[in-house]
Amino acid sequence: MSKLILQGGRRLSGEIFVQGAKNSALPLLAATILGDSVSEIHNCPDLSDVDASINILQYLGCGISRSNNTVVVDPRGMFRYDIPDNLMREMRSSIVFLGAIVAKTGRARISFPGGCELGPRPIDLHLSSLRQLGVIIEEDHGYLDCRCEGRLKGAHITLSFPSVGATENIMLAAATAEGTTIISNPAREPEISDLADYLNSCGARIHGAGESTMYIEGVEKLSGTAHQVIPDRIAATTFMSAAAITGGSLVLREIVPSHLGPVIPVMEEMGCDIKVQGHELKITAPPRLKRVKIIRTLPYPGFPTDAQAPIMSLASVADGTSVFVENIFENRYKHVGELLRLGAKIKVEGRVAVVEGVPRLSGATVCAMDLRGGAALVIAGIAAEGITEVDGLHHIDRGYERIEETLNSIGAKITRVNE
Ligand code: EPZ
């Protein structure tokens, strides 16, 4: 296991090029199997979740070559349609392969993705949507056995909740279905639009991505293409938070400011000055942040649940009391117990967390329990007095490229220790 040792109390400033979006790269890699030729995915972040997706592509029989942040996938050698338990367990969001595999091969057999740190992570919306497209799904001893007779058929699917993964599964299954699929109440995250852009570049006919109704006109076949992954809006928020908690300043390059729409007003309410120009954003923080009255996590374009933990670290040292309501996941306050060890004053009651800002946190040994909670602990440790150790680094490495190198490049003092 490896851990980070942070020396707190240093003001961060400088500039960062934000990595490609993890939550875009993962469905994009799954989508490459739909094409009848090679795809090049550029600006693909170097993460363990991306490694897990590549392992699945190679197991399915695809050719892979990878250099720096480009992954080249040749799906023409694909000969399997199953994902074994060990590969599914590496990353539960591999469920997004289901729609692509069954659309490509007419079969799919994957082990039921377990829950994760955030809660049970049901997939009922995925399964009911795929059934509406003509997929026959049997649940058998922990496996999902799927098949379809001939091509999938377009359908009008209404999602009771705008699930990101379910929307992606529908897009991947419907792109080559017979007829048109309409999705009412789809997820509208930027990663959904990025997937639609990739698929359309492969010959798909998808309209309305990012809006309240999406139209997918099925086509006979798709080619491969070259595609650049959008910047990671959650990584951007994380690094803005790291600078803000130290009263620092940071320039983010190569971002899409509109993707930070729900986050910027929150950081401005906390006293930060944020200037946006083209694909650049500059944030300058006050010596001490102010509290944020209330944050409710919501589907995009609402405040992102993935930013809840990093912003809670800011609230922990802000002047005043902040209220958080986590509406998306059942169990997304696991970082609270660890923030308390650093001296934070937080009360959790169900989906509500009340954070009473303290003047200063003090260093301690803490443990990351999930990806974004782990990032929140790094942010808090950067500001805490003295030394903080963050264990459970494998959670953080799922979503951040060498997080300590990025933060050290703007003035942090963090060492990775491999035990
Ligand atoms: C994606 O997860 C992201 N992961 C998550 O990011 C992100 O937090 C989430 O969307 C919300 O934005 C990836 O893109 C790989 P959902 P996903 O389906 O698709 C319930 C991170 O830190 N639900 O929109 O799993 C579900 O239980 C990760 O980068 C059902 O009830 O999210 C949850 O409460 C964490 N039935 C809510 O919907 C279903 O069939 C949101 O889930 C599917 C979901």
For 223, other C-beta atoms within 10 Å of its C-beta total: 13
Question: Is 225's C-beta closer than 6 angstroms to any atom of ligand 1?
Answer: no
pLDDT at 124 over 70: yes
Main-chain dihedrals φ then ψ at residue 396, nearest 5 degrees = -70, -35
Question: Is 371's C-beta closer than 6 angstroms to any atom of ligand 1?
Answer: yes
Per-residue pLDDT band for 118 (boundaries 50, 70, 90) equals confident
pLDDT at 1 over 90: no
Q: Is 202 a catalytic residue?
A: no
Cα–Cα distance list, 354 to 79, 95, 108, 295, 346 (Å): 52, 34, 45, 10, 6
For 58, other C-beta atoms within 10 Å of its C-beta total: 14
Q: How much is the CA Rg of the chain, to the nearest whole Å? A: 21
Looking at residue 115, what is its pLDDT?
64
Per-residue pLDDT band for 91 (boundaries 50, 70, 90) equals confident
| Higher local confidence (pLDDT), 21 or 112 | 21
pLDDT in tens, 161-215: 999 999 999 999 999 999 999 999 999 999 999 999 999 999 999 999 999 999 9
Q: Which of 26, 91, 121 to mutate to test the pocket of ligand 1 (most atoms within 8 A of CB)?
A: 121
Per-residue pLDDT band for 113 (boundaries 50, 70, 90) equals confident
Pick the residue whose CA is nearest to atom 3 on ligand 1. 23
Cα separation of 249 and 322, whole Å? 23
Q: Strand 39-42 vs strand 226-228: parallel, antiparallel, or unpaired?
A: parallel
| Amino acid in the structure at residue 34 | L
Catalytic member of 44, 116, 148, 202: 116
Cα separation of 136 and 146, whole Å? 5
At residue 415, the 3 state secondary structure works out as strand
Structure tokens at 295: 């944050």
- Tell which atom from ligand 1 comes closest to the C-alpha of 120: 27
Main-chain dihedrals φ then ψ at residue 341, nearest 5 degrees = -65, -25
Domains of the chain: 2-19+231-418 (3.65.10.10), 22-228 (3.65.10.10)
Structure tokens at 186: 């789809």
CA 270 to chain centre: 24
Pick the residue whose CA is nearest to atom 27 on ligand 1. 121
Question: Is 123's C-beta closer than 6 angstroms to any atom of ligand 1?
Answer: yes
Pick the residue whose CA is nearest to atom 44 on ligand 1. 163
Question: Is 166's C-beta closer than 6 angstroms to any atom of ligand 1?
Answer: yes
Rounded to 10°, the helix 22-31/164-174 angle is 20
pLDDT at 413 over 90: yes
Q: Strand 345-349 vs strand 321-325: parallel, antiparallel, or unpaired?
A: unpaired
Which of 318, 334, 399 lies closest to 367 in space, CA to CA?
334
At residue 369, the 3 state secondary structure works out as coil
Question: Is 125's C-beta closer than 6 angstroms to any atom of ligand 1?
Answer: yes
Looking at residue 114, what is its pLDDT?
66
Average pLDDT estimate for 81-94: 90
Cα separation of 170 and 178, whole Å? 13
At residue 279, the 3 state secondary structure works out as coil
Alpha carbon of 26 to ligand 1 centroid (Å)? 13
pLDDT in tens, 309-341: 999 999 999 999 999 999 999 889 999 999 999
Through-space distance between the first and last CA atoms of the chain, rounded to whole angstroms: 5
pLDDT at 140 over 90: no
| Amino acid in the structure at residue 8 | G
Pick the residue whose CA is nearest to atom 8 on ligand 1. 306
Looking at residue 141, what is its pLDDT?
87
Structure tokens at 360: 């200063």
pTM, 2 dp = 0.97
The overall average pLDDT reported for the chain is 96
